[in-house]
Amino acid sequence: MIHIRLKYWFWVILIHGILFVSCNKGTKLVIEEKFDDGKTKTAKYYQNQDRAQILIKEIQYYSNGKKKLEGEFEENIKDGKWIFYYENGEIWSQGFFKKGLRTGKTLVYHENGQIFYEGEYSEGQKHGVWNFYNQEGKLVNTVEFDAGKIVNQTFEKKQPKDSSFIE
């Protein structure tokens, strides 16, 4: 009889231990900052790995409750897709990071939703052809970069006031 009870408790403890460990590897939301009215300003998501809390995602909000930015992390460094928003909720910018450096295609929008500019990053530096558009979506400027340095720039005729390139 004692042998059966020991076996029973062994299995109960083992199953509870497995459940505890498996549940403990989940994602944990931490509200890091709040506005004066109690609304969330900065939320970070952590994952338990080898008894450490690893940052995997961050979301920041405007005081009106709309997202300001959201992005991914790997090993506590920006890595993955990042999106920034205007206060009205429209996307302002989106791009990618790899090991903390900008990489790949980036898009930046005017507040009306039209593309403002688009280009590529390589190892954190602007690279290749970048196109700039006015608020109506008309191409107004093209700039070519090589490792972050301008190698060629062309302006379209009749530039609107908002079309100048600012580095």
Structural domain count, the chain: 2
In a domain, 167, yes or no: yes
Task: Count Cβ neighbours within 10 Å for each residue of 102-119 and write b for 16 or more, e otherwise.
Answer: bbeebebbbeeeeebbbb
Based on the fold, state whether residues 74 and 116 are members of the same structural domain.
no
In a domain, 143, yes or no: yes
Q: For residue range 77-126, list pLDDT tens digits in order.
A: 999 999 999 999 999 999 999 999 999 999 999 999 999 999 999 999 99
CA distances in angstroms from 72 to 33, 58, 59, 126, 129, listed in the order given: 18, 7, 9, 21, 26
In a domain, 67, yes or no: yes
Q: What is the pLDDT of residue 80?
A: 97
Based on the fold, state whether residues 68 and 113 are members of the same structural domain.
no
In a domain, 71, yes or no: yes
For residue 142, pLDDT over 60 is answered with yes
For residue 162, pLDDT over 60 is answered with no
CA 16: distance to chain centroid?
36
Q: What is the pLDDT of residue 1?
A: 58
- Domain ranges, residue 55: 26-82
- pTM listed for this prediction: 0.76
Percent of the chain with pLDDT over 70: 79
Based on the fold, state whether residues 40 and 71 are members of the same structural domain.
yes
- Rounded distance, CA 53 to CA 87, Å? 31
